[in-house]
Structure 1
Amino acid sequence: MQNLRILLAQRPVGDIKATDFEKREETLGPLEEGKARIRVVYLSLDPAMRGWMSADENSYVPPIPLGSTMRGIATGVVEQSKTDKLKEGDWVSGFLGWTQYADVQPDEVNVVPQTVPMDAYMGVLGLAGATAYHGYKEILDPQAGQTLCVTGAAGSVGSLVGQMAKADGLRVVGIAGTPEKCRWLTDELGFDAALNYKSDDLDAGLRAFAPEGLDLHFENVGGAPLQAALNNMKAHGKIAVCGLISTYNATSVPAGPELSAMIKKRLTMKGFVMTDHWHRFGEILGKVGEYLGKGQLKYRLDIVEGLENAPVAINRLFDGSNTGKLTIKVSDL
Structure 2
Amino acid sequence: MAQEMNRQVLLASTPDGMPAEGHFTVAESAIAPPKDGEILCRNLFLSLDPYMRSQIAGRHMSGSTAPGDVLKGETIAEIVESKHPDFKTGDKVIVPGGWQTHTTLVPQPDAPPPMATRRLNPAVYPMSLALGALGMPGLTAYAGLKHLGQPKAGDVVVVSAASGAVGSMVGQFAKSLGCKVIGIAGSPDKCKWLTDTAGFDGCINYKDEAVADGLDRLCPKGVDIYFDNVGGEILDAVSWRLAIGARVILCGLISKVNSSEPVVGPSPGAFIKARATVRGLVVYDFWDQMDEMAETFMKLIEAGKMHFLEDVSDGIEEAPAAFVRLMNGQNHGKTIIKLL
Tell me the TM-score range normalised by the shorter chain. over 0.9
Does structure 1 residue 247 correspond to structure 2 residue 256? yes
Please report how far the alpha carbon of residue 74 of structure 1 lies from its aligned counterpart in structure 2 after TM superposition: 1.0
Report Cα offsets for 1:138-171 as digits up to 9, x if no partner. Answer: 1101001111001111111101111011111000
Report Cα offsets for 1:193-223 as digits up to 9, x if no partner. Answer: 1110011232222122222211111011122
Please report how far the alpha carbon of residue 259 of structure 1 lies from its aligned counterpart in structure 2 after TM superposition: 3.4
| CA distance in 1: counterparts of 2:286 and 2:104, whole angstroms | 25
Out of 312, 316, 321, the residue aligned to residue 325 of structure 2 is 316
Aligned pairs for 1:61-80 (under 5 A) are 61-80=62-81
Please report how far the alpha carbon of residue 271 of structure 1 lies from its aligned counterpart in structure 2 after TM superposition: 1.3
Out of 290, 296, 315, the residue aligned to residue 306 of structure 1 is 315
- SS state at 1:218 partner: strand
Aligned pairs for 1:231-270 (under 5 A) are 231-270=240-279
Per the normalisation by structure 1, the TM-score is 0.93
Deviates more, 1:220-229 or 1:118-127: 220-229
Please report how far the alpha carbon of residue 324 of structure 1 lies from its aligned counterpart in structure 2 after TM superposition: 1.3
Out of 167, 184, 209, the residue aligned to residue 218 of structure 2 is 209
Deviates more, 1:254-263 or 1:308-317: 254-263
The answer on whether the counterparts of 1:230 and 1:259 sit within 8 Å (CA) in structure 2 is no
Please report how far the alpha carbon of residue 78 of structure 1 lies from its aligned counterpart in structure 2 after TM superposition: 1.3
Deviates more, 1:189-198 or 1:104-113: 104-113
| CA distance in 1: counterparts of 2:77 and 2:63, whole angstroms | 25
The answer on whether the counterparts of 1:246 and 1:318 sit within 8 Å (CA) in structure 2 is no
| CA distance in 2: counterparts of 1:318 and 1:8, whole angstroms | 16
| CA distance in 2: counterparts of 1:277 and 1:23, whole angstroms | 35
**Distance 1:29-1:226 versus aligned 2 partners, 3 A rule:** closer
| Letter aligned with residue 119 of structure 2 | V
**Distance 1:55-1:113 versus aligned 2 partners, 3 A rule:** closer
| CA distance in 1: counterparts of 2:78 and 2:315, whole angstroms | 17
Report Cα offsets for 1:259-311 as digits up to 9, x if no partner. Answer: 32111111111111223333443344333334334332110110111111212
**Distance 1:69-1:277 versus aligned 2 partners, 3 A rule:** farther
Aligned pairs for 1:125-274 (under 5 A) are 125-274=134-283
| CA distance in 2: counterparts of 1:133 and 1:280, whole angstroms | 9
**Distance 1:257-1:14 versus aligned 2 partners, 3 A rule:** same
Number of equivalences: 329
Please report how far the alpha carbon of residue 19 of structure 1 lies from its aligned counterpart in structure 2 after TM superposition: 3.2
Aligned pairs for 1:40-79 (under 5 A) are 40-56=43-59, 59-79=60-80
Please report how far the alpha carbon of residue 178 of structure 1 lies from its aligned counterpart in structure 2 after TM superposition: 0.6
Out of 2, 15, 18, the residue aligned to residue 15 of structure 1 is 18
Deviates more, 1:234-243 or 1:105-114: 105-114
| Letter aligned with residue 79 of structure 2 | V
**Distance 1:69-1:278 versus aligned 2 partners, 3 A rule:** farther
Report Cα offsets for 1:46-89 as digits up to 9, x if no partner. Answer: 00000011133xx4233224432211111111112122311222
Structure 1 gaps, min length 5: none
Partner of 1:113: 121
The answer on whether the counterparts of 2:235 and 2:265 sit within 8 Å (CA) in structure 1 is no
| Letter aligned with residue 78 of structure 1 | I
| CA distance in 2: counterparts of 1:228 and 1:210, whole angstroms | 13
Per the normalisation by structure 2, the TM-score is 0.92
Structure 2 gaps, min length 5: 109-115
Deviates more, 1:39-48 or 1:101-110: 101-110
| CA distance in 1: counterparts of 2:107 and 2:58, whole angstroms | 30
- SS state at 1:138 partner: helix
Deviates more, 1:89-98 or 1:188-197: 89-98
Deviates more, 1:285-294 or 1:16-25: 285-294
- SS state at 1:199 partner: coil
The answer on whether the counterparts of 1:175 and 1:194 sit within 8 Å (CA) in structure 2 is yes
- SS state at 2:57 partner: coil
Does structure 1 residue 25 correspond to structure 2 residue 28? yes
| CA distance in 2: counterparts of 1:310 and 1:128, whole angstroms | 19
- SS state at 1:246 partner: coil
Partner of 1:83: 84
| Letter aligned with residue 314 of structure 2 | E
| CA distance in 1: counterparts of 2:38 and 2:143, whole angstroms | 32
| Letter aligned with residue 277 of structure 1 | F
